[in-house]
Structure 1
Amino acid sequence: MGNLDPIAFDIETSGLEPGAVITVAGLATEMGVWIALNTAERYADTDRLQRGIADEVSANVRLSVFQSEERLLEGIREFSSAAIDGDRHYLTAYNGERWNGGFDLPFLRSACVRQEVVWPFPNLAYADTMDMVGRFYTGDVNDLVGVYEALIGEVDCDPFDDSERAVTTYEEGDWVPLLLHNIADILRTRELAVVAGRYVPKSDFKMKNLNPPDR
């Protein structure tokens, strides 16, 4: 939108029940993808995972593996500080946070509070991709996959038919499909945001600043 480039964000979680944690977090920029895996103290061969991803994804992907949710959150903060510029970028997610709901950002806030980690996206604008595409998409299906297929329809790397598989795959330690699912979602989200930036008036972008007031 305008001179700002979208940075797409998406998380996977171990479920929705109390005590659920972030298992994967991904960010897609114009230059490529950064994706973080929380193994919950389990072993993961980073090089093998990187090769498995490279076989399925044409985009440039950088993988970081962490042993806990706390370390993953710190990793998001470090990546954000190094790679995201509030004067050039805005953050977006599909149903990540809207006036009447959303998932990714509220869950991220809860995780940061629980782990006592500093909010990773200070001084950054946010606009929800679901709201953007709602300005021109008129189909009956409004989930990310359905909207993406209707408007863009390109082949992606997602091995799952639905996001519920992300929970069971994480429990089984089958990391590559889980990572590919998240990568597919952030690439879809960013592509939709780019399309919206070409056709939706600036005045219709519902931007907000993610910086907490006491920072």
Structure 2
Amino acid sequence: MALELVAFDIETTGFEVSDEVTVVGFAVPMGVRAFVQTDGRAAPDVEAAVRDRVESHVQVSTHESERVLLEAVGAFAADRLVGNDVLLVAFNGELWRSGFDLPFLRTRLSRVGVEWPFREMPYADLLPVVTNRFNTTGDDGESRSDLAGVYEVLCDGQYSDLDPFADSAEAVTAYEDGRFGDLVVHNVADVLRTRELGLLSERYCSKSDFKLKSLTPTRHE
């Protein structure tokens, strides 16, 4: 039986060890589950605002702090992902000696004392699969290696117009300004693009091209 592909992506306040996770999103076959923290600020009707702009089914929950968000992600993973034949994928989420999402998440979980949420499931990074097994050179002659660029070259681009940001760095400003709807829509666009690239890779690449690794920690309670 084939593993169910679940795409994963996070947004943060920056890249330093003291920066925080602001959004965590998962794209599953039935839609998107997103978690956003507001740092105690009011954020009424975020889910409704996101659903007005996204055709896919989206469920959004708001949380008053990073810790509460990470605890909610852990509960979701335990209920929906762990033990359900899931393949978690990301685009540059974690590679050998590089990647962003998973290393950043480990640091923040350890800082706030929340347990690692991804156990008993395999993980594969799509960046090397896509860039090594597909031609990602656009009509301008430039090779693409970022999520938005690779997606635009290889897929039909249906989620490109969904993203309200021209650059991912805008996610930091949106969070600071309290534009949580825009921030979540950006994350939704990213996880949907990631999942589409994953499905494309499954159709045209061999199993050996996916360098699977276990995310189960060596020691856990």
Select which of 89, 94, 97 maps to 2:94. 97
Tell me how far apart the structure 2 counterparts of residues 164 and 129 of structure 1 sit (CA, whole Å): 21
Matched, 1:155 2:166: no
Give the structure 1 partner of residue 64 of structure 2: 67
Query: Which ranges in structure 1 are unaligned for 5 or more consecutive residues?
Result: none
Task: Report the Cα distance in structure 2 between the residues aligned to 1:13 and 1:5, rounded to whole angstroms.
Answer: 27
Matched-pair contact (CA < 8 Å) for 1:135–1:200: no
Q: Could you tell me the TM-score, scaled by structure 2's length? A: 0.93
Q: Which structure 2 segments of 5+ residues have no match?
A: 138-142
1:134 Cα deviation after fit: 2.4
Note the C-alpha offset of 1:87: 4.4
Distance of 2:34 and 2:183 partners within structure 1: 11
Q: 1:175 aligns with which of 172, 180, 193?
A: 180
Runs of at least 4 residues off by over 6 Å? none
Matches within 5 A, 1:1-215: 3-45=2-44, 48-138=45-135, 139=137, 140-156=143-159, 157-215=162-220
Q: Distance in 1 between matches of 2:16 and 2:93?
A: 18
Aligned Cα root-mean-square deviation (Å): 1.2
* Range moving further from structure 2, 61-70 or 132-141: 132-141
% identical aligned pairs? 43
> Once the 2 structures are TM-superposed, how far is the Cα of residue 44 of structure 1 from its aligned partner?
1.0
Structure 1 residue 94, shift from structure 2 partner: 0.4
Aligned length: 212
Report how far residue 39 of structure 1 moved: 0.4
Question: Mean alpha-carbon deviation: is it higher for 126-135 or for 111-120?
Answer: 126-135
TM-score (norm 1): 0.95
* DSSP 3-state at the match of 2:87: strand
Q: SS of the residue aligned with 2:133?
A: coil
CA distance in 1, matches of 2:95, 2:155: 23
Distance 2:50 2:164 in 1: 12
- Alpha-carbon separation, structure 1, partners of 2:84 and 2:130: 23
Structure 2 Cα separation of the partners of residues 32 and 155 of structure 1: 15
Whether the 8 Å CA contact 2:82–2:118 is kept in 1: the answer is: no
Tell me how far apart the structure 1 counterparts of residues 85 and 120 of structure 2 sit (CA, whole Å): 12
How many angstroms apart in 2 are the aligned matches of 1:109 and 1:17? 13
CA distance in 2, matches of 1:100, 1:212: 18
Rate the CA distance shift 1:104–1:153 in 2: closer, same or farther, 3 A: same
